[in-house]
Amino acid sequence: MNEIVDILYRPRGRFAANHVGAHTSSEVGGFGVFRDQGPFMRYPDARRIDIRATLRDPFGATYVRRFEQRAAVDVYALVDLSASMGFVGAADRFRVAVDLCAALAYSATRIGDRFGLFPYADALIDRSMSPATRSRRAALAAVKRLGAETPRGSSVKGVLAAAAALGATRKLVFLISDFRWSERMIEQAFDALALHDVAPIVLVDSVESAPPKWGVLALRDSESGRRQTLLMRPALQRRWIEAEQARRRSLAHLSSRRSRAAIYVEDRLDPIDLSIRLTAA
């Protein structure tokens, strides 16, 4: 792993939690940021009686102040370990994924959130998975085990098992992949994760997204091992770029109403840019 960086993120919506943390929750109580007033008969806490609201009520009802509680959330990284994640072009895609997980593990545990890691390929990879923990040492140890893996799976069906392992309690999920999946698989994955706040992180390589106009490219299919040589020319480059743009549009369409908009990380992890995107309203 490279030097670990800090990433800022903001969960969307309200999360129920049993531990005080840094995020807005669905719980209300006697301390925190003022939220609204409620009837005393429903929230019988004489210490929080709102005199002004009580005096304004024409029916003589008594009101108490309610305060928004802050909560910790569970943050999970679901990491694609299929063979295409081992691509090395302008950067080592898998190393970027590992660096991102290390940053998430550090950042989550720093503010009191729990971090968990579920790698998957054809199935959920048990030996490198880790349930959510507040221990920074345990979280980073899980990322270190992930870094010892080699992407080699021929499919990503394990993402469905990872989604099931998350349980029904709402979590913040970073779905990390190059998303070179079939449309049907992408749709199934987002449907399986519909209960959660999902942030798709798409790892792309500038070699793939912007090939040269001229030259000879020796290509190898990561999953089948099949090799092909292409003589690049402007017309082929244009079709290549159009195909990549169509793939992005397809991902945007499939993820709409199911998750956040996909965030693209090209070649390297930029913690400032990523933080801006993850904290945007």
CB hemisphere CA count around 110 (13 angstroms): 12
CB hemisphere CA count around 103 (13 angstroms): 21
User: In angstroms, rounded to a whole number, what is the distance separating the alpha carbons of residues 90 and 57?
Assistant: 67
Looking at per-residue pLDDT, the higher value among 30 and 170 belongs to 170
- Angle at which helix 136-147 crosses helix 93-110, to 10 degrees, equals 170
Looking at mean pLDDT, say which of 50-64, 80-94, 233-247 comes out highest.
80-94
In this predicted structure, the answer to whether residue 5 has a pLDDT above a threshold of 90 is: no
In this predicted structure, the answer to whether residue 224 has a pLDDT above a threshold of 60 is: no
- Residue-level pLDDT at 215: 67
Which residue in 69, 4, 6, 1 sits closest to 33, CA to CA? 69
Looking at domain 74-279, its CATH class is alpha beta
- Residue-level pLDDT at 22: 52
Looking at mean pLDDT, say which of 29-33, 62-66, 123-127 comes out highest.
123-127
Question: In this predicted model, what pLDDT tens digit does every residue of 103-136 receive, in sequence order?
Answer: 999 999 999 899 999 999 999 999 999 999 999 9
Q: Quick one: pLDDT band at residue 233, thresholds 50, 70, 90?
A: confident
Q: How far is CA 161 from the centre of its chain?
A: 16
Element housing 230 (H / E): strand 227-232
Domains of the chain: which residue ranges?
A: 23-71, 74-279
pTM passes above 0.85: no
What's the rounded mean pLDDT across residues 48-70?
A: 83
In this predicted structure, the answer to whether residue 85 has a pLDDT above a threshold of 90 is: yes
Contact 75, 114 (CB under 8 A): yes
What's the rounded mean pLDDT across residues 176-190?
A: 94
Query: Which residue type occupies 220?
Result: R
- Residue-level pLDDT at 172: 95
Q: How far is CA 118 from the centre of its chain?
A: 12
What is residue 258's DSSP assignment? Answer: T
Which residue in 67, 263, 65, 61 sits closest to 176, CA to CA? 263
What's the rounded mean pLDDT across residues 157-183?
A: 95
- Residue-level pLDDT at 154: 85
